[in-house]
Structure 1
Amino acid sequence: MGLSDRQALIVSHNDTAHPHVHVIVNRVCLETDRAAIMGKVETGLRGPAATKATKAEILAELRAERGA
C-alpha cells in the first residue's frame, strides 16, 4: 500500500456477527507533511472467506511493512 511511513491503528474484534479488522491510517506523513493519495482499497475479505488465518497474515504483513 505504500503507507509504511504513516501512523496506523489496527483493531480486530469479534463482538459482532462476524470477526473483522478495522485499519485506520493517517494519510499525512509526519516527516514530510505530504498526504498519500488513496483510492478505494478492496481487500476481498468479506463473508466466510475472511478467516482468522487470513486476517492474521494481513496484520503480519502490515506490521512487517512498518518494522513493528
Structure 2
Amino acid sequence: ALCQALLQDENPGVRVAAVEALRESRDQATLQVLEQKMHVDDNEYIRATARRAFERARGTENSQEL
C-alpha cells in the first residue's frame, strides 16, 4: 500500500509520508520503487529521501551526506 501511494498518489504530502515510512525497508520491490522515485518525482524532498534510502540499503551512502 505504501509503495502504491508513493508511486501513484497525486498529493505530495501522502508521497512524503510514504517515502518516510519506507526508508528503512530492504525489500527488493520497495527498493525498486525507491530507485524509480529518486530519479522521477515532482518533489525534491521525495527524490532526495528515496535516494538516501536506496543508497543506504545498497551500502553506497556517501559519508558526507550523514
The TM-score with structure 1 as length reference comes to: 0.31
* Larger of the two Rg values belongs to structure: 1
Q: Which has the higher strand share?
A: 1
The TM-score with structure 2 as length reference comes to: 0.31
